Amino acid sequence: MIKKRVKQYIEKEKLFSPESKVFVALSGGADSVALLRLLHSIGYRCEAAHCNFHLRGTESDRDERFVRGLCRELGIPLHTTHFDTTGYAAEKHVSIEMAARDLRYEWFEKLRVEYRADAIAVAHHQDDSVETMLLNLIRGTGIKGLLGIRPRNGSIVRPLLCATREEIIRYLRHIKQEYVTDSTNTEDEYTRNKIRLHLLPLMEEINPSVKKNLTETGSYLNEAYAIYHKGIADAKERVMTPEGIRIDKLLEEPAPRSILFEILHPLGFNPSQINDITSALQSQPGKIFTNEKWRVIKDRSLLLIDSLQSEEEEENPPFRLISEEKSYTPDFQIPRGKEYACFDADKLNAPLHCRKWQKGDVFVPFGMKGKKKVSDYLTDHKFSIKQKEQQWVLCCGEHIAWLIGERTDDRFRIDEHTRRVVIYRTI
Amino acid sequence: MIKKRVKQYIEKEKLFSPESKVFVALSGGADSVALLRLLHSIGYRCEAAHCNFHLRGTESDRDERFVRGLCRELGIPLHTTHFDTTGYAAEKHVSIEMAARDLRYEWFEKLRVEYRADAIAVAHHQDDSVETMLLNLIRGTGIKGLLGIRPRNGSIVRPLLCATREEIIRYLRHIKQEYVTDSTNTEDEYTRNKIRLHLLPLMEEINPSVKKNLTETGSYLNEAYAIYHKGIADAKERVMTPEGIRIDKLLEEPAPRSILFEILHPLGFNPSQINDITSALQSQPGKIFTNEKWRVIKDRSLLLIDSLQSEEEEENPPFRLISEEKSYTPDFQIPRGKEYACFDADKLNAPLHCRKWQKGDVFVPFGMKGKKKVSDYLTDHKFSIKQKEQQWVLCCGEHIAWLIGERTDDRFRIDEHTRRVVIYRTI
């Protein structure tokens, strides 16, 4: 029953197809073990990926041994890796949890590209999603924090979001499958446990279907978010000019603070700074707000946004580019998102390199016939001076193949003759 | 300190002005007693309004006596009324709570118009708002249920939303003011108590500033909602034709279900029906969905919306019209919202009556110079056939003064010579 539901969910959410090669993130805990057994028994081509974070002494090694045994029994290829998580966390000045997360997802992506897998399946389930919503709500959030965990994020997919923790445990018991348990309690796990063991049961006393309701609320809010997101994009078009944000136009919008939030939060400004900037919109010009990398100046009629990065730093691209080649089969799904670019591999017949765009650069924007100046493209799309300075291109020989994050060049497009596809991605 | 904050909040949210006459809804409980004392001592012109719902035997009468005593001491005019709440609930087939609520707000509105008050102040505070958000979340909701309680809804204003329950009690203790307590526990109160006494303290263990965070989340979501709301209005423009909803256009939208929800929920369709209708969009034509008053038909390329109301019913307006006259002073605020229409009282020099619009009707839409056919206006604004049939007009003699809920006539507008204003409102 859970098996059928998971299969249907994978199909409904188009997570991957029956022929896909799927890597399953396998910690050895109940959820990931169930995920592997389910996908394997439905008949998907699975391989497993296990990270040993060396955070729990012998327990970490016990987990690795357990996972090895399980994969051997099932005849499933296993990939393992070892991380010095504590060292990485110290070096990067991030929490242990953040470090483990970064290391894990980075390695998954490397594996996926190297072994040409179609997706990385992780074992988040419905309770995780509900707990995340409540955790965000308690810590303070906006609409994004109330969307719950999504079934897909790039190549990371979550087939178990249609199942509850209880169903997963019942399934494992039913198929008599063992799993390991984690004896540590991180700060985050401690809080999640509190939500799981105390808060949710109390909410269920008020309404027994609270988990179902929260899941539905998450799904409604996802739709509201899609409409909100489009509204923000339209509003940006109205308020942004190449020089900065037009304050008069911004104040005509139904929610100026939200629009500023969506523009400035990605640049690292925090909600309290953004509130201050919103309050300053109608006050005297001259106020300046800064963070490590950016400066916002309240000018007379404009809000100016300046980068504080030095010239040197700017010569290194602020992203890494990874690529992957695939044969172009009928079930090939063009990956969505600004971080992706797909080309006909055979058309990329000159050496590839990355550089900043230059005056005089031209390209053929995807879907168009004629050439266009990159400068005109950027102006048409309301890039600020600083944003223009930050624009990179991927070149194939002398031609621009990709105005990175913006538009690919039509001359390298996939067409009916394409046999192999190269997918580029910025990370 | 609380006094200063309440004053600032009233000014910031433009709830009413220093000269306003404010009616305070006074139950005799802590919150409403504090509200009255605060507004009175800040210096606003207050009158009190007390409802005796006769739901708690002698306790109801004790409350009325208490309120009389309090107003006498303070020298504040008191209006009281008595309701047969149980009888009304039985007659209207609604819950006791719903009945009390309807009766109360209807009476407040009547009082406001009769005594020309500017606002009715009710005593909801920050904790009420937070509890409402959690209650909605537990019962299942969309974005609207997470906005919290708003400072203004028509003429109902809530000056205490800037204060917590604790601050209110502390204030009453400080000024040595007594209040009555309600010994009953309605179902709703029972749930709210559970949220207040158990759920919120547990959330505060996880994050002590959870109430503040929830309030902020509500405020962020209000902005997101404003953007969402505009997005929905724009989407309606794109998908609605006079004949019905264009299915192809609807499916191009980022969230078709939400758009259908915003169109069909006001007609009384429930979320589960709306999910079914959404699923039917891509299936065979011919499916029909009905509720008591409306029918939705999935046609080939359109979704048709038909009224099932009989001819007779349609001859009675589906609203009540109330009016109020005021002198036109510099601080006069034109009330917003489609339910309001403001006219120069002296220009309304013929008898007023309501009727459905008729073929051949013309009017001068507010802000325009020339006449326009009502039929053209409705077509331009994408009214469906059924919506057109539902359109009413307020006439002054032979002239249309208001295309109700849509546009007033320019010939009756307020101008620099206006001395008295008449405000019409549909309820």
CA B67, B68, B72, B78 dihedral sign is positive
Q: Would strands B21-25 and A352-356 be described as parallel, antiparallel, or unpaired? A: unpaired
CATH code, A44 = 3.40.50.620
Q: Quick check: A306 pLDDT over 70?
A: yes
The CA-based angle A55-A58-A63, given to 5 degrees, is 80
Q: How far away is chain A from the Cα of B261, in angstroms, using its nearest Cα?
A: 10
Residue ending a domain, among B183, B207, B231, is B207
Q: Which residue of chain B has the CA closest to A212?
A: B140
Residues A291 and A155 placed together within one structural domain of the fold: no
- What is the pLDDT at residue A379? 87
Asked if residue B23 lies in contact with residue B48, where contact means CB atoms within 8 angstroms, the answer is yes
Distance CA B216, CA A145 (A): 13
Clarify whether residues B268 and B182 are in a common domain: no
Q: What is the pLDDT of residue B314?
A: 57
Instruction: Kindly state the helix (H) or strand (E) to which residue A295 belongs, with its residue range.
Output: strand A294-298
pLDDT at B185: 61
Q: Which of residues 175-204 of B touch A (CB under 8 A)?
A: 191, 194-195, 198-199, 202-203
What pLDDT shows up at residue B339? 87
Same domain, residue pair B37 and B149 = yes
pLDDT band at A95 (very low <50, low <70, confident <90, very high): confident
Domain count for chain A, please give it: 3
8 A C-beta contact, residue A119 and residue A20: yes
Q: What is the mean pLDDT of residues A407-424?
A: 89
Residue A316 lies in a domain: no
pLDDT in tens, A185-207: 667 778 888 999 999 999 999 99
More confident residue, B334 or B91: B91
B359 with B300, same domain?
no
Answer yes or no: do B34 and B145 share one domain.
yes
Quote the pLDDT of residue B274: 94
Do B262 and B375 reside in the same domain of the chain?
no
Q: Are residues A154 and A16 in the same domain?
A: yes
Q: Are B357 and B393 in a shared domain?
A: yes
The residue of chain A with its CA nearest to that of B275 is: A220
CA distance A63 to A19: 30
CB of A220 within 8 Å of a chain B CB? The answer is yes
User: For B231, which of A140, A207, A227 is closest by C-beta distance?
Assistant: A227
* pLDDT for residue A313: 55
Q: Output the pTM of the full model.
A: 0.73
Edge-to-edge order in the sheet of strand A321-327: A321-327, A420-426, A340-344
Retrieve residue A251's tokens.
Answer: 């104040």
Residue A139 lies in a domain: yes
- Is the model's pLDDT at B190 over the cut of 90? no
pLDDT per residue over B66-83, tens digit each? 999 999 999 999 999 999
Q: Is A29 annotated as a binding residue?
A: yes
Which tens digit of pLDDT belongs to each residue from B283-332? 888 889 999 888 999 988 999 988 776 655 556 787 888 888 888 887 78
Length of chain B: 427
Using the predicted structure, report yes or no on whether residue A314 has a pLDDT greater than 60.
Answer: no
pLDDT band at B379 (very low <50, low <70, confident <90, very high): confident
Shared domain for B20 and B65, answered yes or no, is yes
CB burial class (10 A; 0-12, 13-18, 19+) of residue B73?
A: exposed
**Residue A47 falls within a domain, yes or no?**
yes
Q: Give the residues across from A157 on adjacent strands.
A: A121, A152
Has residue A219 been placed in a domain?
A: no
Give residue-wise pLDDT tens across range A144-183: 999 999 999 888 999 999 999 999 999 999 999 999 988 7
Residues B276 and B161 in one domain: no
Q: Are A194 and A50 a contacting pair, CB within 8 Å?
A: no
Domain-located, residue B214: no
Q: What are the angstrom distances between the C-alpha of B28 and each of A387, B45, B124?
A: 60, 19, 14
pLDDT in tens, A37-53: 999 999 999 999 999 99
Long-range contact pairs involving B411-416 (C-beta distance under 8 Å, separation at least 24)? B411/B347, B411/B364, B412/B343, B412/B344, B412/B347, B412/B348, B413/B343, B413/B344, B413/B347, B413/B366, B414/B328, B414/B334, B414/B342, B414/B343, B414/B344, B415/B344
Domain limit, last residue, from B252, B282, B307: B307
Residues of A within 8 A of B257 (CB-CB) are: 223
Q: Is the pLDDT of residue B384 over 90?
A: no
Instruction: Count Cβ neighbours within 10 Å for each residue of B329-367 and write b for 16 or more, e otherwise.
Output: eeeeeeeeeebbbbbbbebbeeebebeebeeebebbbbe
- Residue B309: C-alpha distances to residues B92, B291, B295 (Å): 20, 11, 10
Q: With CA atoms as reference, report the closest residue to A127 among A158, A173, A97.
A: A158
Are A228 and B226 a contacting pair at CB < 8 A? no
DSSP sequence for A394-425: EEETTEEEEETTTEEBGGG---TT--EEEEEE
Question: Is residue B168 domain-resident?
Answer: yes
Are the Cβ atoms of A199 and B199 closer than 8 angstroms?
Answer: yes
B235 occurs within a structural domain? no
User: Same domain, yes or no, for A172 and A301?
Assistant: no
Q: Is residue B360 within 8 Å of B425, Cβ to Cβ?
A: no
Q: In terms of Cα–Cα distance, which of B242, B282, B275 is closest to B260?
A: B275
CA distance B226 to B215: 17
Its domain, for residue B358, covers: 321-426
At residue B112, does pLDDT exceed 80? Answer: yes
The model's pLDDT over B118-165, given as tens digits with 9 standing for 90+, comes to 999 999 999 999 999 999 999 999 999 999 999 998 889 999 999 999
Mean pLDDT of B213-242: 91
Output the domain CATH number for residue A366: 3.50.40.10
Q: Is the pLDDT of residue A315 over 90?
A: no
Q: Do the chains contact at A223 and B257, CB–CB below 8 Å?
A: yes
Interface membership of B226 toward A (CB under 8 Å): yes
Q: How far apart are CA B353 and CA B19, in angstroms?
A: 33
Domain boundary among A184, A207, A230: A207
User: Would residue A401 count as lying in a domain?
Assistant: yes
Q: Do B81 and B192 sit in the same domain of this protein?
A: yes
